[in-house]
Amino acid sequence: MDILVISEEVEGSREEILSYIADVLLKKGFVKEGYKESLLERENKFPTGLYVNETFKVAIPHTEISFANRNVLVIVRPLNPVYFKRMDDPTTEIEVDIIFVLVIKEPDNYLKFLSKLTENLANEEFIKLVKDRDIRAISEYINKFFD
């Protein structure tokens, strides 16, 4: 799986950030036309904000595999507070620390990756990297659990 770190200054609303990410993915050939609209629609219907603990919250937006050209994990640490609705309580919004956008071409890979990612969300070393805003170290850490 490729890992794409969007390290330039990314800010805006949830929709603006997801749209920006979708545009980058389309330009780089990771996704097909229509990906952005599908991603935004799916996030509205099936929110992806995940409350890990009191001090650590993430979002894991994704959409249908039919829009994927290649498997990629996009890591974004927005400059401003960004709110996502919780996946387990869509009436509640949480401020997320990091956004992991999944673009998965095969369903089996999606489940495998999501399982590994969620296992690591409770890891103190990983949480510290996210809190320190060290996007390169986060990428290296994730690469370790995919070897």
What is the model's pTM?
Answer: 0.89
Other CB atoms within 10 A of residue 116 CB: 12
| SS3 call for 49 | strand
| SS3 call for 89 | coil
Other CB atoms within 10 A of residue 34 CB: 14
| Tens place of pLDDT per residue across the chain (147 aa) | 788 888 667 899 999 999 999 999 999 999 999 999 999 999 999 999 999 988 889 999 999 999 999 989 898 989 899 999 999 999 999 999 889 999 988 877 777 778 888 888 888 888 888 777 777 788 888 877 765
| SS3 call for 11 | coil
